[in-house]
Chains A and B, each alone.
Chain A
Amino acid sequence: MLEVRGAISKTNVKDGAHFDMEMLKVLPVAKLETSTAVTDGVRRFEGFLMRDLLAYVGAQGTTVTAKALNDYTIKIAIAEFDRFDVLVAYEMDGEPLLPSDKGPLWLVYPRDQHVELQDIRFDYRWVWQLRWLDIR
C-alpha cells in the first residue's frame, strides 16, 4: 500500500519499508477536520501524522518526494511536517478512502487551521492515491 525508501534506518525489504494497512494502523491515529480545495464543505479525516511515519522509519533526510499511483510527484521539505500537523489520511467522513477515488492514502494539510496553507502553493501538495515516499 505504501512504500518508503531512501534515507531511512528502518526497513523491512531490501531497499525500503513496505507497509500494508494493518501496519499503518499501528501508528498513532490522528484526526483532522478541514475543507479541501477539491471538495465541498468540511471533511473529517482520520489517519496518522506524516512526522510519526517519518520517525517510525527513521527518516534522516531533508526532503520527501511523494509519488501517486498516476506518477504525480511532489517534493516536500521534511521541516514542513514538523511545522504543521500534516495527515496521511486513510478515512474520510468515516469511510475508507478507495483507490478508485483519492485512496487509499491522501496527504491532507490542516488548511482551515492555518491561513497560510490556504494557498495554491500548498494545494498541489495534497497528493492523493499516495503510494511511494522517497526520503532524501
Chain B
Amino acid sequence: MNQTVRAFVGVALPVLVIIVFVALLTFSLLRLLNTERDMRFEATQNMLWVISRAHISSLLLGEAVAGGIAGEVDLAQLELRYNVFLSRFALLDDGPQRRQMEALGAAAALDALRESLPQLNALLKDVKQETLPNLKALLEPYNAALTDAANKAMVAEWEGLGATLDATRKQLWQIIISMIGISLAGAVLCIHFLLAIRDAQQRTRLLNKEKAFSELLIASSGEAIVAVDRDRRCTVWNEAAERLFGLCINPAVGALLNELSGFFAVNRVEQAIGNAFQGQAITLLDQPFFPSHDSEPLYVDLRCFALRDAERIIGAILLISDVTERRAAQREIANHRDHLEQMVRARTQELDAALIRERTTAELYRNFGTMISHQFRTPLALVDSALQRLMRRSDMLTAAEVMERCKEARGAIARLVKLVESTLDAARLDASQIEVRNQICNLGDLVTEICSRLTEDDGLKRIKVMLPDGFTPTACCDPVHAEHILTNLLSNAVKYSQNATPITINFANRETHIECVVTNIGSSAGSFEPEALFDRYYRGRNSEGRPGIGVGLYMARMLARLQGGDVQLQNSDPNLIQLAMLLPRSAADSGFVAAMKHRKETA
C-alpha cells in the first residue's frame, strides 16, 4: 500500500500536474493569440473616415462647380476637385470598402452614382447655371447615402469595438484563471522537485556512505582488486594490488592494463578479461607471476567478473590472490605423500621379497628334505646292508669278499660325504662365505687338465676338447671356482648322457667374455624343465636313479656370477644339451656379462 502511494506521489502526481500545467499553458497561449489577433485593426475598419472623406470630396466638388459658375473657380481647380471626388468614389466602390458599404446598405447609391458618372462628366465639361440643379440632383442622393452610411459605420465600429473589448476581457479573465492554475501547478511541481531534491540528497549521502564503505573494503582487502573499463584502462587499484605488483595507485589508475604488468599481457589472462567483457565469470588457478621487484616467482589465483551498469557491461573486475604459500604447502604435502608412497612401495617390495624368500626357503627345505630322505638314505642303506652281510656271514666270507663288501660300504660312504660337502658348499654360498680371487686364467689349459683327470679317474675317453684356433681363451676369473664349475658341467654331461656318446667342449671368443660350451647328447630316460634347471635342489625326471642333491648347476651359476660371469643353458634339446660357462675377458668386462645375463633373464 505504502509503495503504491509512494509510486503515485513520486510518478503519477507529477506527471498529472505536468499535464495540467501544459494544458493550462497551451490554453493561455491560444487565448493570448486570439487576443493578439483581435487587436489588429484593418484600414477597412476605419470606414467612418473613408466615408467622411468621400462625402467631403463630393461637397467640395459641388462648391467648386458653384464657384466655377460664379467665375471664382478655374477649370483646373474644378478638374482637381472632380478627380478627388472620383478617387474617393473609386475607393468606396472597390475591394473591401465596397463590401463594407454593401454591409452598411449604401451599395445602391454607389451603383446609381456609377451609372450617372457619364452624365456627371458631361455636365462638368460645360458648367452652366441652368445645369446646376441637374448636378445637385446627381450628387444629393450620393451625399445622403454617405451620411447614412457614416452613421451606420460609426455604430457598427463602436459595436464591434465593444464586442472586441468584451471578448478580450473574457479571454483575459480566462488567461488570468489559467495563470492561477499554472501557478498552482508550478507550486506543486516546485514542492515535488524540492522533495525529490531532498530525497536525492539523502540517497546521495547513503550512496556516498556505501561508496566509502566499499572503498574501505577494497582498500583493506587482502586480495588485489583491479577494475578496468572497456578500453582495458585501470579504474580501481587497491593497496593489495600496490603491494603485489609494486605499483602505486597514481600511475596505475588510467593506464592500460598491459602497461602495468606483464602478467596482464599473458594470453590466458587477456582472454579471461575478454571473456569477462562477454559476461562470463572466469577463474584461473595457480597462475605464475614474476614480479619485477622479486626474482622468485609467485603463484596467484585470478577471478574475473563483468562490471555492469544496469544491463550494459562497462568493464571487468579482477580479484587476484597470492597463493604462493598455499601452493608451496600443497607441494610439500604432495612431496611428503610421494615419499610415503615410495616408502610404502619399497616396504611392500621388501615384504614381497621376504615372502618370496620365505616361500623359496620353505620350498628349499621341502626339496632338501625330499633330497635327504632319498639321496642320504640310499648310501646309508648300502652301508648297512654291507655291514649286515659281513656280520651274518663273517665266518663264511673270504678276505676278498670282505674286501669287496667293505669297498661297497666305503663307496657309499664316499658318496655320502660328497653329498654332505655339496650341501655345505651351498650353505657357504648362501652365507657369502666363499671368497673370489680373480686373475687372468687360460681356460684352455684348465679344461685340458680337468679332462685329463677325469679320464684318469674314471677311464672316460669320450670327452673331446676343441681348443680354439687363433686365440687363447683367457678369462678374468678365480681358477679354483672356474675348475669347480667346469667339473660340475662335465660331471653333469657324463651323468645325463648316454653311454659312449661324445661330450665336446668348445670355446668362443665374444666381445666382452669367453664362452666355454659343454655339449652332450641327452639320455632318453626322462626330461627336465629348463627354467628350473638352475634352482637349488631341483632334480629333473632324467635324474632318477642317479646320485646327486640338485645343487651342482645352482652352485656353478652362483660361482660364475660371483666372478662376473654366468652359466647358461644354450640348448635344451634332449638330443643336444649345451651348457655354457661365460667368464669376463677382463675385470672391466665383468659388468657387461652381468648386464647380458640380466637381459637374458628378463627376456
Q: How many residues of B contact A (CB 8 A)?
A: 21
B243 to chain A minimum Cβ distance, whole angstroms, is 76
Contact assessment for B43 and A120 in the assembled complex, using a CB-CB cutoff below 8 Å: yes
Residues of B within 8 A of A101 (CB): 86-87, 90
What is the distance, in angstroms, from A46's C-beta to the closest C-beta of chain B? 20
Query: If the complex has contacts A38-B94, A38-B95, are A70 and B86 also in contact, measured as CB distance less than 8 A?
Result: no
Note all chain B residues with C-beta closer than 8 A to A128.
Answer: 87
Residue of A37, A102, A129 near B44 (CB, 8 A) is A37
Q: How far is the CA of A128 from the CA of B96 in the complex (A)?
A: 17
Interface residue range, chain A: 10 to 19
- Binary flags per residue of B65-88, CB closer than 8 Å to A gives 1, else 0: 000000000000000101110111
- Residue contact A102 to B87, C-beta cutoff 8 Å: yes
Partner of A100 from B42, B43, B90, B94 at Cβ < 8 Å: B90
Which residue of chain B is the closest to A128 with respect to CB atoms? B87
A69: nearest chain-B partner, CB-CB? B84
Q: Which B residue sits closest to A129, measured CB to CB? A: B87
Pair B96/A40 contact, Cβ less than 8 Å: yes
Given contacts A38-B96, A69-B80, A70-B57, whether A123 and B43 have CB atoms under 8 Å apart is yes
CA gap between A42 and B94 in the complex, in Å: 14
Residues on B with C-beta less than 8 A from A39 are 94-95
Q: How many residue pairs between the two chains, A and B, have CB atoms under 8 Å in the bound complex?
A: 52
Within 8 Å of chain B (Cβ to Cβ): is A58? no
A120 contacts B80, C-beta separation under 8 Å? no
Q: Pick the contact of B43: A37, A72, A99, A102 (CB < 8 A).
A: A37
- Residues on A with C-beta less than 8 A from B42 are 37, 120, 123
State in angstroms the CA–CA spacing of A124 and B46 once bound together: 10
- Looking at the assembled complex, report how far the CB atom of A43 sits from the nearest CB atom of chain B, in whole angstroms: 10
Q: Majority SS of interface residues in chain A?
A: loop
Contact assessment for B84 and A38 in the assembled complex, using a CB-CB cutoff below 8 Å: no
Point out the residues of chain B lying under 8 angstroms from A119, CB to CB: 40
Q: Which of B41, B44, B83, B96 contacts A69 (CB 8 A)?
A: B83
Given contacts A37-B42, A38-B91, contact A100 B97 (CB under 8 A): no
CB-defined contacts of A72 to chain B, threshold 8 Å:
53
Residues of the B chain whose Cβ atoms lie less than 8 Å from the Cβ of A40: 94-96
Inter-chain CA distance A56–B104, complex, in Å, is 46
Once the chains are docked, how many angstroms separate the CA of A39 from the CA of B43?
11
Known: A38-B43, A120-B43. A100 touches B95 (CB 8 A): no
Most B Cβ at <10 Å: residue of A69, A100, A120: A100
A97 to B43, CA, bound (A): 21
Which residue of B84, B90, B97 is within 8 Å of A70 (Cβ)? B84
How far does the Cβ of B124 sit from chain A's closest Cβ, in whole Å?
12
Closest to B82 in A: A100
Tell me the residues in window 95-125 of chain A with beta carbons closer than 8 Å to chain B beta carbons.
99-102, 119-120, 123-124
Which B residues touch A37, using CB under 8 A? 42-44, 96
Interface residues of B in 544-576 (CB under 8 A from A): none
Report chain B residues within 8 Å CB of A70. 53, 57, 84, 87-88
Report the bound CA distance from A124 to B42 in whole Å: 10
Q: Please report the C-alpha to C-alpha distance between residue A72 and residue B41 in the assembled complex, in whole angstroms.
A: 21
Instruction: Scan B20-53; emit 1 where CB is below 8 A from any A CB, else 0.
Output: 0000000000000000000011111010000001
Given the complex, which residues of A lie within 8 Å of B88, measured CB to CB? 70
CB distance from B224 to the nearest CB of A (A): 71
Minimum C-beta distance from B99 to chain A (A)? 9
Assuming the contacts A38-B94, A38-B95, A38-B97, asked whether A129 and B83 have C-beta atoms less than 8 A apart, the reply is yes
Q: How far is the CA of A102 from the CA of B43 in the complex (A)?
A: 16
- In the complex, A102→B88 CA distance in Å? 9
Chain B, residue nearest A103 (CB):
B87
- B96 touching A100 by the CB < 8 A rule? no
Pairwise interchain contact A100-B91, C-beta atoms closer than 8 A: no
Q: Which residues of A contact B40 (CB under 8 A)?
A: 119-120
Report the separation of the CA atoms of residues A38 and B49 in the bound assembly, to the nearest whole angstrom.
13
The verdict on A99 contacting B96 (CB below 8 Å), with A37-B44, A38-B91, A120-B42 known, is no
Give a binary string over A59-103; 1 marks a CB under 8 Å from any B CB, 0 the rest: 000000000011010000000000000000000000000011110
Shortest Cβ distance from residue B554 to the other chain A in the assembled complex, whole angstroms: 137
In the bound complex, residues from chain B placing their C-beta under 8 Å from that of A123 are: 42-43
Residues in chain A near residue B86, CB distance under 8 A: 100-101
Q: Within 8 Å CB of B87, what residues of A?
A: 69-70, 99-102, 128-129
Q: How far is the CB of B194 from chain A (nearest CB, A)?
A: 43
Q: Within the complex, what minimum Cβ distance (angstroms) separates A108 from chain B?
A: 14
Known: A37-B42, A123-B43. 18 other contacts (CB 8 A): A38-B43, A38-B91, A38-B94, A38-B96, A39-B94, A40-B96, A69-B80, A69-B84, A69-B87, A99-B83, A100-B82, A100-B87, A101-B90, A102-B87, A119-B40, A120-B42, A128-B87, A129-B84
A-B contact pairs, 6 of them (CB 8 A): A37-B44, A38-B91, A70-B53, A101-B90, A120-B40, A120-B46
> Using a CB–CB distance below 8 Å, which chain A residues touch chain B?
37-40, 69-70, 72, 99-102, 119-120, 123-124, 128-129
Binding site for A on B (CB under 8 A): 40-44, 46, 53, 57, 80, 82-84, 86-88, 90-91, 94-97
Across chains A and B, which 9 residue pairs bring their CB atoms closest together, nearest first? A37-B43, A100-B86, A99-B83, A40-B95, A70-B84, A123-B43, A39-B95, A120-B41, A101-B90
